[in-house]
Amino acid sequence: MSKYQVSDDGLYGRFGGQWVPEMLYPNVENLRLNYIKILESDEFKNEFLGLMKDYVGRPTPLTHAKNLSEIFGANIYLKREDLAHTGAHKINNAIGQVIMAKMMGKDRIIAETGAGQHGVATATACALLGVKCRVYMGALDIERQAPNVARMRMLGAEVVAATSGNCTLKDATNEALRDWISNPEDTFYVIGSVVGPHPYPDLVARLQSIISKETKQQVREQTGKNLPDYVIACIGGGSNAAGSFYNFLDDESVRLVAVEAAGLGLDSGETAASIARGTEGIIHGSRTMLMQTDDGQITEPYSISAGLDYPGVGPLHAFLAEQGRATVLAATDQEALDAARLVTLKEGIIPALESAHALAALPMMKFKKDDLVVVTVSGRGDKDMDTYMKRLF
Ligand SMILES: *Cc1c(COP(=O)(O)O)cnc(C)c1O
């Protein structure tokens, strides 16, 4: 078994685990006892892989970026999660967890969302699969993310405002957990990234691992090489990166590069770079690297990109960084904006602001001429057009 796999008790080295209040333990334990069995069942695989193909539109292409290759002096390929249904990788995870919920006899889904992307993916999966969906969202985020709130409502989800604290993601998470504690029988909590208590980080990584499964096959078919030299992805919680890395973890020749959001700069105090500038602690049921004050209060992270604006990072990534298996870089708001502009003008692809952070790694790297580099474009930029217009023109 891979040394980067989660242990039976949910640990990646000293990271991860199940740091949950006693009242939540039965729910999490029920999922832990069932998730591998379900993921490996024919019933799950047939339904999941069928929907990935015919509904999500997988495999997503691996596009040879000829112009970027010339500019950066390497062979650059883009893994196109922006072309998945709903415009990002989050749908892979949402569909997988909703199928799992139904197989566990649950007919009510809850989720929390910050920017609304995970809420939209979950609402989509619930509409498709015919289950009730309630999404908790901070009252402030509901105001800031009106288009995604509208999408969720159109998809039939109930969007509930969290009005405690700062009225943002953390408060929505607390409300969702309270709901789950009160409704353990019929309710499944769909978490949107490789975060939370065990088994969520492993469950989400396995569902997103379809990304690197496809990449591996596409690299062989399209390039004649066996493996890429680099795989680069952005990390908020870390699900698109976990999925992009997963099937390469034991191929030690493949250099894995995770790109955090530096915000206004690593030392500006306005950053979301949890590995570079965070410290070890516990957030959302898991031991990992997070942004906190000296006395352990979680601090508000900052990034121009709503999807990277999370105060922690999945425990797998804390472990990969500590082990030196992954290299962690950070891109500022401005570096991400510049990368988005360049990739749009040179390749005709408008990336999500999150994905632009991964692309911003290209000018930071020293490649050799025949290096084969895969960058995951986690989503499309439609949702970010206001920001692009304000900041680029
Ligand atoms: C949510 C989101 C991310 C960040 O989440 P991860 O779990 O780190 O992948 C990245 N890109 C896009 C397009 C997103 O919507």
Report the residue among 234, 384, 385 best suited for mutation to probe ligand 1: largest number of ligand atoms under 8 A from its CB.
Answer: 234
Q: Spell out the residues 6+ positions from residue 199 whose beta carbon is closer than 8 angstroms to its own.
A: 6, 10, 28, 31, 32, 35
C-alpha distances in Å from residue 78, one per residue of 54, 150, 173, 215, 367? 22, 30, 33, 10, 16
Q: Report the mean per-residue pLDDT for the chain.
A: 96
Q: Is 182 a catalytic residue?
A: no
User: Exposure pattern of 200-223 as b/e (b: 16+ CB <10 Å)?
Assistant: bbbbbbbbbbbbbebbbebbeeeb
Q: Mean pLDDT across the stretch 338-355?
A: 98
Q: Ligand 1 centre and the CA of 306: distance in Å?
A: 9
Q: Is 102 a catalytic residue?
A: no
Asked if pLDDT for residue 1 goes beyond 80, the answer is no
Asked if pLDDT for residue 53 goes beyond 70, the answer is yes
Could you give the CA distance from residue 201 to residue 143 in angstroms, rounded to a whole number? 29
pLDDT in tens, 19-47: 999 999 999 999 999 999 999 999 999 99
SS (H, E, C) 161-216: EECCCCCCHHHHHHHHHHHHHHCCCCEEECCCCCCCCCCHHHHHHHHHCHHHHHHH
The per-residue pLDDT for 300 is 87
pLDDT in tens, 65-116: 999 999 999 999 999 999 999 999 999 999 999 999 999 999 999 999 998 9
Exactly one of 79, 90, 106, 170 is catalytic; name it.
Answer: 90
Q: Mean pLDDT across the stretch 332-346?
A: 98
Q: Mean pLDDT across the stretch 240-245?
A: 98
The residues lining ligand 1, judged by C-beta closer than 6 Å to any ligand atom, are 88, 90, 117, 193, 234-241, 307-308, 352, 354-355, 378-379
pLDDT tier for residue 2 given thresholds of 50, 70 and 90: confident
> Helix 333-347 to helix 385-392 angle, to the nearest 10 degrees?
100
Q: Which of 275, 283, 270, 281 is nearest to 256 (CA)?
A: 275
